[in-house]
Every structure is written in C-alpha cells, then in structure tokens.
Amino acid sequence: MLSISEKTFTKNVLESPIPVLVIFTAPWCGLCKIIHPLLLQFQVQCSDRIKLVEINAEQNFKLSNTYRLKSLPTLLLIENGIVKQRLEEFRSREDLRLALESIQIGYNNSYSGKIDNLKFTG
C-alpha cells in the first residue's frame, strides 16, 4: 500500500485518474493493524479500478484537519478531488468488510458497474 504525505497528496489523490481510497491511520492504532490485511486484499482485487493509499494522521496534521478526522481508521473514497464516501468508526474487521462492500455497491450504482463481484474472506 502506498504511503503518502501532505507533499504528495495532490498528485497521488486529488489528481489521480482513478478513484482513490485513502486510509488515515496512526502507529498506535490497533484496529488499523487488524484491518490492514483486509485492505491489502481489497487492493489486490481493485488495483486497476481504485487506488489505495495510506496516510499517517499524526504526521500529516493539515490533512487530518482538512478532512476533519474524528476517529482512526478513517477511509475516504476520493474521485476527481471530491470525497464520494466517508467510512469511519469501525469496531471490527467485519465492520470494514461491510464498508468495503458498500463502496462496491456505491461505485456500481454511481459509476456504471465497473467493480464486479468483490469477495472478502476473513
């Protein structure tokens, strides 16, 4: 998963030709570590349609403030510089799995079915 900073955010996220799922994390965030394998699985399944990037919320305070983070992890689906979906306040891997499926459903409904048949295990 690509780790980005405030310096590389515009190029890697706002100017990306494909939607970007941004994951705000922190080194002390236990849930962030627990859900990491599921995010990697999502990345493998969607790499040609959705880019996945990670941002350390503590080291990139300006971005954390700009996107008004309330909890970690927070996931933002950004397309053409616009937040299309915000996912936060996970309690488990199952919460994240359901949230990722909601991205699939939302993307299918809004963007002509470019993501098909995502399956998550674990």
Tokens of 103: 């991205």
Q: Which residues pair with 23 in a beta bridge?
A: 54, 75
The DSSP letter of residue 116 is: -
**Which residue in the list 1, 29, 31, 118 is annotated as catalytic?**
29
Out of 20, 32, 69, 77, pick the active-site residue.
Answer: 32
* Tokens standing for residue 66: 């700009």
Give yes or no: 46 in active site: no
- Distant-in-sequence, close-in-space partners of 102: CB < 8 Å, separation ≥ 6: 85, 87
Nearest to 14 by CA among 65, 61, 58, 67: 67
What DSSP element (H or E) covers 105?
Answer: helix 93-110
Q: Which residues are catalytic?
A: 29, 32
